[in-house]
Structure 1
Amino acid sequence: MGERCVVVAHESRALTDALASRTIRSYAAVGDSFTEGVGDPGPDGTFVGWADRLAVLLDDRAPEDTFQYANLAVRGKLLDQIVEDQIPRAVELAPDLVTFVAGGNDIIRPGTDPDDVAERFEKAVAALAGAAGTVLLATGFDTRDVAVLKHLRGKIATYNMHIRAIADRYGCPVLDLWSLRSIQDRRAWDGDRLHLAAEGHTRVALRAAQALGIEVPADPEQAWPLLPPRGTFEVRRDDIHWAREFLVPWIGRRLRGESSGDRVQAKGFLDPHEIKLQLESAS
């Protein structure tokens, strides 16, 4: 077992080193609300998110005025919708890098089979791998401390193992969100408890850059400041507020067959310099 761990670690390091030697001049982000950046609004109200923040880091490393970035993600989309609407566009762009994070909205639906979702996911990876220089995949989050999703932890873990197996087959680096402990802190999450807040997206962007072999300006696992313990009354009050403001409307949309992304267009091509200015003005 120990020898196997050494071999796997060596292979992972070799992949990271190979990626670090490449200059990424073009990037397309494919996915759902996570990649669109829901929970991380900029000064103008437009969501930023980890993918846009990663684009800024990549632009800083590319020769001046050579980097191109497109965010194709749309909130609420299921895997098949992403495959139909976004994958062909990403293949057409044939960028140096594609980040492909999808299937989470399928996994949280009752009755879905992670094996089936993974099979469809792999077909999309195969299409992307034939067009893009590098395809970065990501695992799902550890939902141990997310009350409404805790019961799905085993299902998500199964899907994660499929993603890692697919990554091995296609030589894809993996953004491991399950092991990113810093985002298990409630301050990493937006008030809806389903999407990351700005600081959570920032830490994911840093970890994504690390998965690509890029040196980052901060540690994504940097410890949070200590908080005083919360009392039972405060916790219950927050839970009631969350259920009223977020959980009930979310359940209502699902019962009506509505999606949060029904009338949303992808952000499309973005200028990383403009993203950087937005982030600086908000800090």
Structure 2
Amino acid sequence: MSGDERGYRRFVALGDSQTEGLNDGDDVRGYRGWADRLAEHLAAADPEVRYANLAVRGRLAHEVCAEQLSPALALAPDLVTVMAGVNDLIRPGCDVAAVSGHIERMLSALSAAGAEVVTFAYPDPGRLLPAGRLLSARTRDLNDRVRAAARRSGALVVDLSAHPVTSDSRLWSDDRLHLNALGHTLLAAAVAHALRLPGSDDSWSNPLPVREPLTRWRRAEAELRWAMGFVGPWVVRRLTKRSSGDGRRAKRPALGPVSVHTGRS
């Protein structure tokens, strides 16, 4: 059932760093992110909306399922978003079938509890990262499995792989793994459109204005800066078996009112 047929009063977001809101803000000011922005869209139409965000950065799909599903069900939501699996995809030896199984468990349980459930198919990482081409087939496999799981459970799929704009580098942070403020804004609009919320449309999927391509030297410089600034630290965390989410908790573990943001971004 869509947003033009029912109202949503209890929105709960499950996931990892993307749903937590990195890099739309920072650790000092806090992170906003697409889920917060979607909650604000809901609250602008209905101030009675309550919102919880259980996402924690670094979580793998089985961790999202183990740590967030039961608390989400306890909140009795009528709208839930489930974004998981990307942290699995970028790790060697990823078992795509197992990852999709954890996602399907969440979709099925939340749908059976009466919630409208939204999940995602991801853009091709090969369009953003030179090494991402190694993950393209794996990503397509997960997307296919998630679409099938969504059909079985009745969940909605926001298919980011179907829209070239989602691979535009201007939507992504310097680490190329997390959306920036513009990316989070467009993702919130994509979910609102999938739900057919009042005031939503498909303009989020329009391509950005054409820009001049980088020179070969600038591209090489950007690749080196990315490798030194982000790949190196990621490898160190893997070798030391640490996660960016160690010691972190959900930023909004309980349902609460939403303050509608009035800024420009």
TM-score, structure 2 normalization:
0.92
1:276 to 253, 257, 261: 261
1:255-274 to 2 correspondence within 5 Å? Answer: 255-268=239-252, 269=254, 271-273=257-259
Q: 1:223 Cα deviation (Å)?
A: 3.1
Q: Do the aligned partners of 1:26 and 1:97 also contact (CA within 8 Å) in 2?
A: yes
CA distance in 2, matches of 1:126, 1:226: 41
CA distance in 1, matches of 2:179, 2:190: 14
Structure 2, unmatched stretches of 5+, are none
Is 1:148 the counterpart of 2:134 in the alignment? no
1:189 to 141, 159, 172: 172
Is 1:120 the counterpart of 2:106 in the alignment? no
SS in 1 for 2:119: strand
Q: 1:174 Cα deviation (Å)?
A: 0.9
Q: Do the aligned partners of 1:98 and 1:132 also contact (CA within 8 Å) in 2?
A: no
| Aligned equivalent of 2:203 | 219
| Aligned equivalent of 1:60 | 44
> Which structure dedicates a bigger proportion of its chain to strand?
2
2:87 to 105, 110, 113: 105
1:1-283 to 2 correspondence within 5 Å? Answer: 18-41=2-25, 45-62=29-46, 64=47, 66-145=48-127, 146-214=129-197, 215-216=199-200, 219-268=203-252, 269=254, 271-273=257-259, 276-277=261-262, 280=263, 283=265
Which has the higher mean CA deviation after the structures are superposed, 195-204 or 39-48? 39-48
> Which structure would you say has the larger Rg?
1
CA distance in 2, matches of 1:112, 1:264: 24
CA distance in 1, matches of 2:213, 2:157: 35
Identical positions, percent:
36
Q: Do the aligned partners of 2:20 and 2:31 also contact (CA within 8 Å) in 1?
A: yes
SS in 1 for 2:204: coil
Q: 1:220 Cα deviation (Å)?
A: 0.7
Which has the higher mean CA deviation after the structures are superposed, 255-264 or 109-118? 109-118
CA distance in 2, matches of 1:222, 1:36: 25
Q: 1:219 Cα deviation (Å)?
A: 1.6
Structure 1, unmatched stretches of 5+, are 1-14
Q: 1:101 Cα deviation (Å)?
A: 1.0
Task: Rate the CA distance shift 1:96–1:247 in 2: closer, same or farther, 3 A.
Answer: same
CA distance in 2, matches of 1:217, 1:110: 38
AA paired with 1:24? Y
SS in 2 for 1:216: coil
Q: Do the aligned partners of 1:23 and 1:61 also contact (CA within 8 Å) in 2?
A: no
Q: RMSD of the TM alignment (CA)?
A: 1.8
Task: Rate the CA distance shift 1:132–1:150 in 2: closer, same or farther, 3 A.
Answer: farther
Q: 1:125 Cα deviation (Å)?
A: 1.8
Deviation per CA, 1:128-186: give whole Å up to 9, x if none. 12224211111122212122322111111111111111111111111111113212111
| Aligned equivalent of 1:6 | none
Q: 1:228 Cα deviation (Å)?
A: 1.8
